[in-house]
Structure 1
Amino acid sequence: MNLRRRLGLFMASSMLLSACTVGPNYQPDRMKVPAGFKEAAEEHTATPEEIERTNKEMTEWWASFNDPMLTSLVEQAIAGNFDLQIAGQHILAERAIRDRSASQWYPQMDANIGGGDVRYSINIDNWPIRPGNPSNRPQASMMTYGAMATWEVDVFGRIRRDVEAHERAVEASIEGRRALLMTLLSELASDYMLLRVTQLQISIATNNIRVAKEGVDLSNKLYLEGVGNTLQTAQAQAELDAQIAAREPLKTRVSQVTHAIAVLLGKMPGELEDQLKVVRPLPVVPAFPATMPSIVMANRPDVRMAERKYALATAQIGVAVANLYPHFVIPLTFNPNASAMYQLFQVNAMSWQFLMMASLPIMHGGKMTAEIRAAQASAEAARLSYRQTVLTAFKEVEDAMAAWHDDIEYAEQLHKAAEDSALASERARKLYGAGLVGFLEVLTTERTTLNAQNMEAMAKLERLRDAVNLYTAIGAGWKGVPLTNSTLPVSLETQNVLARAFKQ
């Protein structure tokens, strides 16, 4: 049987055997989950309009706050945040690693050329006679060129499992970027809400400073009229000083939050200060989602990433199992050599080998079986991690829903308390002006009013953050945001002429 026929039979048998891929095939973990959420609003049949609104909110939830500035900041953050760009480059790196693994399917070939002088030892008995170079002439000139190639035939699927594992790693890195995007948008929105509420608190503090100044003027007037006393004027001045001092930390917080927002957008801390420090109304709290089936948890990137890591770990079991089976390799060497240029292409100068090699592991002290056990344990850990991620996700959604519903009544009660305190403070000042109550009652009611107004402002912040937390918990916001692909200014294809002709 000639060599060509043997090679044909070997290739045919290899292709048939290549259908055999050892190791377990990935099966998604079927975790039993409830159909809905316990803390969700009372179930009702959602109208098509409500479903459409909810689906839109899942894609661009920040638009539901009806704040153009927030929407603009989100767009700038998606385009400019460096952490997000770094995550994108990690995806590109994972894809390149996957392609490197897939290259094992193809023949690996290198060419060589060389020449020079060599000297052989003559201190060895029975040294073979070298044509054209007897033992009394150990030096020789040699020229050579050739090629070396090797090709592994993936009979038992080791390469396929390796590529599969790297493909799952690519998918996990994509979900990791999406999770980072959600965290980025959540942090940006929370900082923006804090900025607007802090500006509201500064407005409240400024108003209380005005009231305190009126109290100083009133106490001085009463003192001059012989009705008041120096204790009351001192108390009024101390209250004014305290109100002025209380406003300063709020200004510091505004500066710090504007710096944080700028960095999230990939800008220097001071770039957005003039733009963000302009006082604007608070964003509008959106309506609670009209429909909330538990299937929305499939949108959470961390859940999707945990599932992809489980698939990756399952593929790695296959890689470890395939190492127990024979490896089939076809090596090829073509390496003519001679002492003169004209001899290099003569038949006598030809030197080559073409083999079909198979290797079977026999004894490695339990190394390979230990690798299989390690891969199995890692896969089981990944499966359990997936389940824990799902449980944590459900907890976060339930917590966000509970906070949403409970904070509604909390905010309403604080609003009523702030109104009642303001009314009491106004009456106390009038009674003090009429000499019917002392200045202590005025101070008490003013401090109660300030505290109630600040608590109401913080309750508004919590209401806004409840909405942000709920959208983040259900995995909204990453859809429709494509992967940004940035490349180095040097094109690798232009660095080597062979790179344009061959897959290197």
Structure 2
Amino acid sequence: MKGHSRLGACLAASLMLSACTVGPNYQPDRMKLPASFKEAAEEHPATPEEIERTNKEMTEWWALFKDPILTHLVQDAIKGNYDLQIAGQHILAERAMRDRSASQWYPQMDANMGGGDVRYSINIDNWPIRPGNPSNRPGASMLTYGATASWELDMFGRIRRDVEAHEREVEATIEARRAVLMGLLSELASDYMLLRVTQLQIGIATDNIRVAKDALDLSSRLYREGVGNTLQIAQAQAELDAQIAEREPLRTRVSQLTHAIAVLLGKMPGELEEQLKQPRPLPVVPEFPAAMPSIVIANRPDIRMAERKYAMATAQIGVSVANLYPHFVVPLTFNPNASAMYQVFQVNGMSWQFLLMASMPLMHGGKMTAEIRAAQATAEAARLTYRQTVLTAFKEVEDAMAAWHDDIEYAEQLHKAAEDSATASDRARKLYGAGLVGFLEVLTTERTTLKAQNMEALARLERLKDAVNLYTALGAGWKGVALTNSTLPVSLETQNVLARAFKQ
């Protein structure tokens, strides 16, 4: 009883000490951020109402383009995209690893049983006579059963720091999934914008083919009337052939973009041909956000993930430091042995031990201190990575805002140039029909018109992409999508009945 009292006192003392957690506690890295973005060009500080309205608009920023097909595609992509589902499985995996680490807090217990015949050698001098097994009877039957258990007392917080590190990793994986979601939305919207602009370019090319056919017909008529010549007919035919040839790569691009969008939605290429093949007006360019306080940068999943990685690396320092301290383990063994079934439950057949074991590192050639230095360096690298991620994010936002403002005037100038070119082309054809200019002037104005119209279409595309890039740079979109738990196709409970009874 006295020995049991001492052991109980030791256990009680150990449990009291278990509140001690070594290693540094995580402190967020504070960076001095500007109150607003330089390119925002706000004339007055953003009001709370403007900030609230901006946050609401950015929750589902794709709806600001006022294109119901785009909105429908986004909803389908969130449900069906495989990269997003893979990221969800990574969350499940990290949560399982966290639970695996947390299992160290609990006693680890295993059961065993067995039996059979054994034989001992008698060809060794001075071999001690075994009770119940004299030397002239080297064989025996044996039955055994029992249990072994081990419980580590987390006195210095090694397990706690390990669980903390895995919890931070779970959070980082959640942010990684949100980053995948944002990349998906950005790629889908960009592909859709390019698809609609390409269809617009096909329409422009088709109109120019019609104009080229009219020019060929006009040249042929003038030749028949004795005014034109065969050179003009050849030039008109060459221009028509060139216009037809330029349209074919655009059709190929439409097919490729349709395939890409289908894959983003988790569908086979070609499934969206019917839905997307009909040209539609270009989506509306949204208005510039009403409020642009720099605090919105905290929405970016890559920044949030980098911050969680830094927290995880800090917890890993605690794991390495805890390895310098003593480890306390309570082993328990219960293992009766007997030769017959009725004997295994008798008192004489019982065998057990219940101890408190302690181990402390003394000399390992600097291995453990090296592990601490490595963990510290890894944490510092994670902190610097976080800072670099913030700087990169600010640059991307500033670049996106600069492009947004600059492309407005650029698109307006190209629109004016396209209108002027179309007017000049129409006048050139009329003058050519009246015999006042040569066919070279007609070709020149038509090519200029086609180039101006295509450049205007690409400028409209850039304006749409500027909006997508700005919303992506600001980390918008993931807050409107709930983080649903993924499921496994096969449940553990259907494979092992013991999993329902024991926490394994």
- Distance change >3 Å, CA 307–CA 47, structure 1 → 2: closer
* Deviates most, 152-161 or 121-130: 121-130
SS in 2 for 1:30: coil
CA distance in 2: counterparts of 1:175 and 1:406, whole angstroms: 32
Is the 8 Å Cα contact of residues 23 and 322 (structure 2) preserved in structure 1?
A: yes
- The answer for the alignment partner of 1:493 in structure 2 is 493
Is the 8 Å Cα contact of residues 326 and 358 (structure 1) preserved in structure 2?
A: yes
CA distance in 1: counterparts of 2:329 and 2:239, whole angstroms: 88
Structure 1 residue 100 corresponds to structure 2 residue 100:
yes
Is the 8 Å Cα contact of residues 205 and 243 (structure 1) preserved in structure 2?
A: yes
* Deviates most, 494-503 or 461-470: 494-503
Is the 8 Å Cα contact of residues 92 and 486 (structure 2) preserved in structure 1?
A: no
SS in 2 for 1:39: helix
- The answer for the alignment partner of 2:444 in structure 1 is 444
Structure 1 residue 219 corresponds to structure 2 residue 219:
yes
Q: Which amino acid in 2 is paired with 1:412?
A: E
Encode CA deviations 1:220-249: one digit per residue, 9 max, x unaligned: 111111111111111111111111111000
CA distance in 2: counterparts of 1:452 and 1:238, whole angstroms: 20
Q: Which amino acid in 2 is paired with 1:425?
A: S
CA distance in 1: counterparts of 2:123 and 2:110, whole angstroms: 35
Q: Which amino acid in 2 is paired with 1:139?
A: G
- The answer for the alignment partner of 1:228 in structure 2 is 228
How many angstroms does 1:93 deviate by? Answer: 0.2
CA distance in 2: counterparts of 1:490 and 1:2, whole angstroms: 52
Encode CA deviations 1:230-282: one digit per residue, 9 max, x unaligned: 11111111111111111000000000000000000000001001111111110
How many angstroms does 1:362 deviate by? Answer: 0.7
- The answer for the alignment partner of 2:412 in structure 1 is 412
Encode CA deviations 1:355-403: one digit per residue, 9 max, x unaligned: 1000000111111111111101100100011011000000000000000
- The answer for the alignment partner of 1:474 in structure 2 is 474
Q: Which amino acid in 1 is paired with 2:87?
A: A
Q: Which runs of 5+ in 1 are unaligned?
A: none
Q: Which amino acid in 1 is paired with 2:243?
A: Q
CA distance in 2: counterparts of 1:353 and 1:48, whole angstroms: 68
SS in 2 for 1:93: helix
- The answer for the alignment partner of 1:36 in structure 2 is 36
- The answer for the alignment partner of 1:244 in structure 2 is 244
CA distance in 1: counterparts of 2:480 and 2:437, whole angstroms: 64
* Deviates most, 479-488 or 41-50: 41-50
CA distance in 1: counterparts of 2:188 and 2:247, whole angstroms: 24
How many angstroms does 1:55 deviate by? Answer: 1.5
How many angstroms does 1:496 deviate by? Answer: 2.7
- The answer for the alignment partner of 1:195 in structure 2 is 195
SS in 2 for 1:332: strand
TM-score normalised by the chain length of structure 1:
0.98
Structure 1 residue 348 corresponds to structure 2 residue 341:
no
CA distance in 1: counterparts of 2:303 and 2:297, whole angstroms: 8
> In the comparison of the two structures, how many residue pairs are matched?
504
How many angstroms does 1:497 deviate by? Answer: 2.9
For residues 139-288 of structure 1, what are the structure 2 equivalents within 5 Å? 139-288=139-288
SS in 2 for 1:425: helix
CA distance in 1: counterparts of 2:494 and 2:320, whole angstroms: 38
CA distance in 1: counterparts of 2:12 and 2:43, whole angstroms: 62
Is the 8 Å Cα contact of residues 176 and 302 (structure 1) preserved in structure 2?
A: yes
- The answer for the alignment partner of 1:84 in structure 2 is 84
CA distance in 2: counterparts of 1:215 and 1:146, whole angstroms: 99
For residues 127-142 of structure 1, what are the structure 2 equivalents within 5 Å? 127-142=127-142
- The answer for the alignment partner of 1:326 in structure 2 is 326
Encode CA deviations 1:124-157: one digit per residue, 9 max, x unaligned: 4432321211012111100000000000000000
Q: Which amino acid in 1 is paired with 2:455?
A: M
CA distance in 1: counterparts of 2:447 and 2:173, whole angstroms: 53
CA distance in 2: counterparts of 1:52 and 1:381, whole angstroms: 36
Structure 1 residue 361 corresponds to structure 2 residue 323:
no
* Deviates most, 376-385 or 12-21: 12-21
Q: Which amino acid in 2 is paired with 1:189?
A: A
Is the 8 Å Cα contact of residues 129 and 135 (structure 2) preserved in structure 1?
A: yes
- The answer for the alignment partner of 2:422 in structure 1 is 422
* Deviates most, 148-157 or 360-369: 360-369
- The answer for the alignment partner of 2:294 in structure 1 is 294
CA distance in 2: counterparts of 1:356 and 1:258, whole angstroms: 68
How many angstroms does 1:3 deviate by? Answer: 4.4
CA distance in 2: counterparts of 1:148 and 1:251, whole angstroms: 71
Q: Which amino acid in 2 is paired with 1:375?
A: A
- Distance change >3 Å, CA 295–CA 45, structure 1 → 2: closer
- The answer for the alignment partner of 1:53 in structure 2 is 53
CA distance in 1: counterparts of 2:224 and 2:47, whole angstroms: 70
CA distance in 1: counterparts of 2:188 and 2:55, whole angstroms: 22
CA root-mean-square deviation: 1.2
CA distance in 1: counterparts of 2:124 and 2:359, whole angstroms: 34
Encode CA deviations 1:259-316: one digit per residue, 9 max, x unaligned: 0000000000010011111111100000000001110110000000000000010000
SS in 1 for 2:259: helix
How many angstroms does 1:502 deviate by? Answer: 1.6
CA distance in 1: counterparts of 2:325 and 2:473, whole angstroms: 46
How many angstroms does 1:46 deviate by? Answer: 4.7
How many angstroms does 1:207 deviate by? Answer: 0.4
How many angstroms does 1:47 deviate by? Answer: 6.0
Is the 8 Å Cα contact of residues 85 and 484 (structure 1) preserved in structure 2?
A: no
SS in 1 for 2:118: strand
How many angstroms does 1:48 deviate by? Answer: 6.3
How many angstroms does 1:53 deviate by? Answer: 3.2
* Deviates most, 365-374 or 326-335: 365-374
Identical amino acids, percent of aligned pairs: 86
- The answer for the alignment partner of 1:396 in structure 2 is 396
- The answer for the alignment partner of 2:2 in structure 1 is 2
Q: Which amino acid in 1 is paired with 2:388?
A: Q
Is the 8 Å Cα contact of residues 334 and 353 (structure 1) preserved in structure 2?
A: yes
Encode CA deviations 1:169-218: one digit per residue, 9 max, x unaligned: 10111001101110111000000000000000000000001111110111
CA distance in 1: counterparts of 2:28 and 2:297, whole angstroms: 15
CA distance in 2: counterparts of 1:48 and 1:132, whole angstroms: 89
- The answer for the alignment partner of 2:458 in structure 1 is 458
Q: Which amino acid in 1 is paired with 2:337?
A: N
How many angstroms does 1:120 deviate by? Answer: 1.7
How many angstroms does 1:119 deviate by? Answer: 1.4
CA distance in 2: counterparts of 1:42 and 1:486, whole angstroms: 43
CA distance in 1: counterparts of 2:49 and 2:213, whole angstroms: 53
How many angstroms does 1:49 deviate by? Answer: 5.8
Structure 1 residue 123 corresponds to structure 2 residue 123:
yes
